[in-house]
Structure 1
Amino acid sequence: MAFKAERTNARVVAGLAVVAVVAAGCGSSGTSSDQSPTLVAYTGQSTDYQINFNPFAPTNIGGTGTIFQTLFFYNIVRDDEPAPRLGQQFSWNADGTQLSITLRDGVSWSDGEKFTAEDVVFTLDMITKNKGMNSGNYSGRATATDDTHVSIAFDQPSFVDGPTVLGKTYIVPKHKWADLADPAVAVLKDPVGTGPYLLEEFKPQAYTLKANPSYWGGEPAVKKIRYLALSGNQAGATALKSGQIDWQTGPVPDVKDVEKNYPGYRSVVTPVNQIVLDTCSNAALGCSGPQTDPAVRQAIYYALDRTQLNALAFENTASEVSPSFMLPERDQQLISGRLQNRVAPMQPDLAKAQQLLDGAGYVKGSDGIYTKGGKPLSLTVKTVAGWTDYITAVNTMTQQLKQVGIKLAPQQLSWNEFVDAKDRGEYQLIIDSLYQGPAPDPYYLYSYFFSTAQTAKVGAKPGANISRFSDPQVDRALDALKHVNPNDTAARQPHLETIQSRIEQAMPYIPVVTQGTISVYHSAKFTGWPTEDDLYAFPAVWAHPDQAEVYLRLKPAGK
């Protein structure tokens, strides 16, 4: 009873804090000084913001898509043609070794300087010189043929590099960035971009973007966007209940009854990202702990009761996940028949989990916990304070894994501590999610999270491959896929199957479920939101550059 009382009191305090922050920022009417309504967004930020608008830094808090733009926009939730942004046209030569791009003319940076092809070349060259910025393994050589044309040469067929270069690389101004000593981690407080918004004000509790009156596409109808830092998901739900937030992506109580419980709001649930337990898996690169044993990772995989996790932590909005990390619906025809499980079992197999541990030399102690070499099979699992769905999932897993003889020790961190632990490899388990690439193709997830080129020794900053996983067969298959035209499905499939088989065996990321990403939006205040019938962008407030696409489509209700 005392625990429930504490949680109730915390929610009341959080709700008062939300109202205070919003009211202080935009007045009780929720409008900006020009009487146009301010859109208030909550991304899940559970501690104060620490300013950094560097689009390449791991501590970036925003501006990707809104301030800094890509050349084109790729929609990962449906198979649309790439939409022109800073670029207008692109084409490949026949063998995929040269990409030609025509840029939009007449674009200016927000400080008035002209945007040219030199900015694009500078950005791409900067990425090749800084491994931590090169999440897509880009290896081209860019040349500006004139102010509006860029040619990129590759040593080998590189069709798959196109969506990363064109749709996920944020172009930055050469005249502002050329003197940065370490652009991969530099703190950017005064961002200069080409996008539809400018930074108006920053405070640790909230920052505000304002519409760019000189935006090449015309000044947006939504004039101001305020991002709030709250105490976590419960505070976000309280703010929604009081009508103080206009767009939130994250767990919401009784999500099936959003329109009834939150008048004026609607929701959309999109299955895209896969929830996992990240493991620091590779002892050869400095990882330490029981999770470096594949048998332990496999035992955790089989011991999870995913049906229970879905019900208790995710309001039954999650769906099946494949150990191949293909999306079961989108990639159904590509999932290998050689896998032990096409999708992870929704019910636990405790006998299988114990068999794996017994076979790896673990012995169950009198307290029911396995031991090896005199050390108990105990693992610390980290999550972000305030992320109530993930915290609930971890607490549920703790009870589930105890039944099989594995002890979990949950640990909550601030966002910055969480990011730092991932980057340094100073963790055993982390609950997180794997994200999709710039196009609806599993190649990109594989290249991000399973490529040796994307990892580093413990203590050094890796790319996306924070598990420190490295496998020569996977690397060779990824390299082979770069040589094959993405339209040649038959030629690609053997390489995709090799990757699937190897990562199911090694399991450096333990599959939990495919997350049903919940977004709730204020339809009575703004019109033009993505819906299940018109997913013109991934409708998550933290997704980039998708969120900028949404802002550009929105209009204040009645206008």
Structure 2
Amino acid sequence: MFLKARRSSRARTAAAGLAAVALLATACGGSSSSGDANKDTLVVYTGQSGDWQLNFNPYSPTMLEGPGTIFEPLFFFNNIRDVEPRPRLGKSFKWNADGTQLDVELRDDAKWSDGQEFTAEDVVFTLDMVSKNATMNSTGYKGVATAVDDTHVTIKFTEPSFMDGPQVLGRIWMVPQHKWKDIATPATDVVKEPVGTGPFMLDEFKAQAFTLKSNPAYHSGEPALKKIRYLALSGNQSGEAALKQGQIDWQTGPVPDIANVEKNYPGYKAITIPMNQVALFTCSNAALGCQGPQTDVAVRKAIYYAVNRTQINSLAFENTASEVSPGAALLERDKDQISGELQEKTAPMQPDEAKATQLLESAGYAKGGDGIYAKDGKPLAMTLKVVAGWTDYITAVDTMSQQLQKVGIKVTAQQVSWNEWSDARGRGNFELLIDSLHQGPAPDPFYNASYFFSTATTAKVGETANPNFSRFSNPAVDAALAALKGIDPEDDAARQPHFDTIQTEIEKSLPYIPVLTGGTTSEYNAKKFTGWPTKDDLYSFPAVWARPEHSEIYLKLKPAGQ
């Protein structure tokens, strides 16, 4: 998600944005302008447009907050740099020789925020719950966990599962058995009063803002950061205005004139990291209930060739984005795993309108009198959902709509609330929507593929997919993912043929039509807090909406002067 203010619409919405900021400053207290009372409070804006809907279930696709802050993983894996994982609730772990058994030692000094002890039984309960609820199991976990004693857990797999390590250890959020055992529907319960082991606890919830407070009994010591206030604003212009007034300490997303943040926002700095891939998500699989022209691969490929990525980058993203691979691996981080068998290493930055029209006409589409292609009497027209207030994305989809009109494809942008967008994405009730493919717990293209391109992480339309929202299902990709789980991650030669299969099959289908690799940019208050990640010290991916990465940053931050 990008949060850049759209320059062409700023004048129209600035007054409303400033009013919203003024209201929130009154209701919640400002950050740097409210005196010593808020010197330990970090005010963040995640891009939330409209009121918050209470939901602290870390496994819900519509949860507000929790992973890493309230609910912890066993370890933290840095997905930008290849470094040793940092212990959270775990102390150490070890695989057996063939990757079928993972032994984990837990810390013995962790407590739940209600005072009860954290033990191996909580880990086993959490893992069992995730494995029994498909919509909660975004990592595809299939192990069987046993508590050896209070501080040791053994997880057994029916097949070699080396690649499951960072997912099980780093992306499953431990929950208290004594609280969750009585929840009848853990996949959908909103968890109004979260109890976790994390460094923060829920302090106060309101529709326009909620606050986390530091956990004084946190096993690694109470954080120096005492409170985190999450604001809901009316959109990106409000975020920009709040940043300008010093009412926000951290937001993720480009702002106008991104190159001069330190000049335009005194006391603030910015950092940009290429990480998440902006894409047009398509409900692509008719066999699972998807409906619409986008279920035709020829249509998806025509869109792929018709868009002008250079123009989109300039108009929507201030040229902070970069090229993207049609095989979905990151061009920079994963350069050693990019397949040499791809037809195109990168998606074209300039449109190929002739290629787009050739693809459509070869698939039986004919252009009507209105200039729009049609087939079997149905015009090539689709709706593209975008979150209201995500103005950089709105700019991108408006630009793409105009570009696609030139080749006879009609795309109508539909702005909806985040809640409506998220629900449609999960249930497959969309033709196109704009979002980005996120990365996994470790710097390896396996995880992105296992999340978004695995049959195990999707569902029929009407049921919640998590996170293979396109409903992509390909036996060759599934087999390659399964094979990679059983290969030592250090064995590059043995792994590469499977990456070749995954990337070439993705390129053939394009269920997520790649747009650009997003330059994820954050602006942060360096005058008020110290400890922020830098390009020389990327101890965590710096995005306020990245979980649990943001919690590592919260743990490092200190009020200036401490």
What's the TM-score once normalised by structure 1's chain length? 0.98
> How many residues are matched?
557
Local SS of the residue matching 1:45 = strand
The RMSD of aligned alpha carbons is 1.5
Alpha-carbon separation, structure 1, partners of 2:418 and 2:150 = 40
Q: Does 1:141 align with 2:136?
A: no
Q: Which amino acid aligns with 2:473?
A: S
Local SS of the residue matching 1:395 = helix
Question: Could you say which residue in structure 1 is the equivalent of 2:383?
Answer: 380
Q: Is the 8 A contact 1:102 1:148 kept in 2?
A: yes
| Deviates further, 108-117 or 369-378 | 369-378
Alignment CA distance shift 1:551-1:168 (3 Å): same
- Show structure 2 runs of 5+ residues with no match: 1-5
Q: Is the 8 A contact 2:31 2:39 kept in 1?
A: no
The partner residue of 1:367 within 341, 365, 370 is: 370
The partner residue of 2:500 within 473, 487, 497 is: 497
CA shift, 1:317, in A, is 0.2
CA shift, 1:5, in A, is 10
Alpha-carbon separation, structure 1, partners of 2:141 and 2:298 = 34
Q: Does 1:53 align with 2:56?
A: yes
CA shift, 1:13, in A, is 2.0
Question: Could you say which residue in structure 2 is the equivalent of 1:98?
Answer: 101
Q: Which amino acid aligns with 1:303?
A: A
Alpha-carbon separation, structure 1, partners of 2:271 and 2:32 = 26
Q: Is the 8 A contact 2:101 2:157 kept in 1?
A: yes
For residues 261-340 of structure 1, the aligned pairs below 5 Å read: 261-340=264-343
Q: Is the 8 A contact 2:77 2:86 kept in 1?
A: yes
Question: Could you say which residue in structure 1 is the equivalent of 2:198?
Answer: 195
Q: Does 1:250 align with 2:253?
A: yes
Alignment CA distance shift 1:35-1:355 (3 Å): closer
Q: Does 1:82 align with 2:60?
A: no
- Show structure 1 runs of 5+ residues with no match: none
The partner residue of 2:15 within 12, 17, 36 is: 12
CA shift, 1:55, in A, is 0.3
CA shift, 1:331, in A, is 1.4
CA shift, 1:22, in A, is 2.4
Q: Does 1:237 align with 2:251?
A: no
CA shift, 1:59, in A, is 1.1
Q: Is the 8 A contact 2:32 2:247 kept in 1?
A: no
Q: Which amino acid aligns with 2:276?
A: N
Question: Could you say which residue in structure 2 is the equivalent of 1:23?
Answer: 26
Q: Which amino acid aligns with 2:97?
A: A
Q: Which amino acid aligns with 1:518?
A: T
Question: Could you say which residue in structure 2 is the equivalent of 1:179?
Answer: 182
Deviations along 1:454-487, one digit per CA (max 9) or x if unpaired, are 1111111122111111111111111111111111
Local SS of the residue matching 1:44 = strand
CA shift, 1:6, in A, is 7.8
Question: Could you say which residue in structure 1 is the equivalent of 2:401?
Answer: 398
Q: Is the 8 A contact 2:31 2:43 kept in 1?
A: no
Q: Is the 8 A contact 2:31 2:249 kept in 1?
A: no
Alpha-carbon separation, structure 1, partners of 2:384 and 2:437 = 17
Q: Is the 8 A contact 2:365 2:373 kept in 1?
A: yes
Question: Could you say which residue in structure 1 is the equivalent of 2:552?
Answer: 549
Alpha-carbon separation, structure 2, partners of 1:95 and 1:4 = 55
The partner residue of 2:110 within 72, 89, 107 is: 107
Alpha-carbon separation, structure 2, partners of 1:39 and 1:9 = 29
Alignment CA distance shift 1:258-1:34 (3 Å): closer
What's the TM-score once normalised by structure 2's chain length? 0.97
Q: Is the 8 A contact 2:141 2:168 kept in 1?
A: yes
Q: Is the 8 A contact 1:19 1:244 kept in 2?
A: no
Alignment CA distance shift 1:94-1:301 (3 Å): same
Alpha-carbon separation, structure 2, partners of 1:156 and 1:4 = 53
Question: Could you say which residue in structure 1 is the equivalent of 2:154?
Answer: 151
CA shift, 1:94, in A, is 0.5
Alpha-carbon separation, structure 2, partners of 1:95 and 1:138 = 18
Question: Could you say which residue in structure 1 is the equivalent of 2:454?
Answer: 451
Q: Is the 8 A contact 1:280 1:428 kept in 2?
A: yes
Alignment CA distance shift 1:19-1:258 (3 Å): same
Question: Could you say which residue in structure 1 is the equivalent of 2:3?
Answer: none
Deviations along 1:196-254, one digit per CA (max 9) or x if unpaired, are 11111000000011111111111111111100000111110010011110000023111
Alpha-carbon separation, structure 1, partners of 2:8 and 2:34 = 35
Q: Is the 8 A contact 2:30 2:247 kept in 1?
A: no
Query: Displaced runs of 4+ in structure 1, greater than 6 A?
Result: 3-6
Question: Could you say which residue in structure 2 is the equivalent of 1:206?
Answer: 209
Q: Is the 8 A contact 2:383 2:411 kept in 1?
A: yes
Q: Is the 8 A contact 1:31 1:38 kept in 2?
A: no
The partner residue of 1:533 within 536, 539, 542 is: 536
Alpha-carbon separation, structure 1, partners of 2:510 and 2:218 = 46
Local SS of the residue matching 2:229 = strand
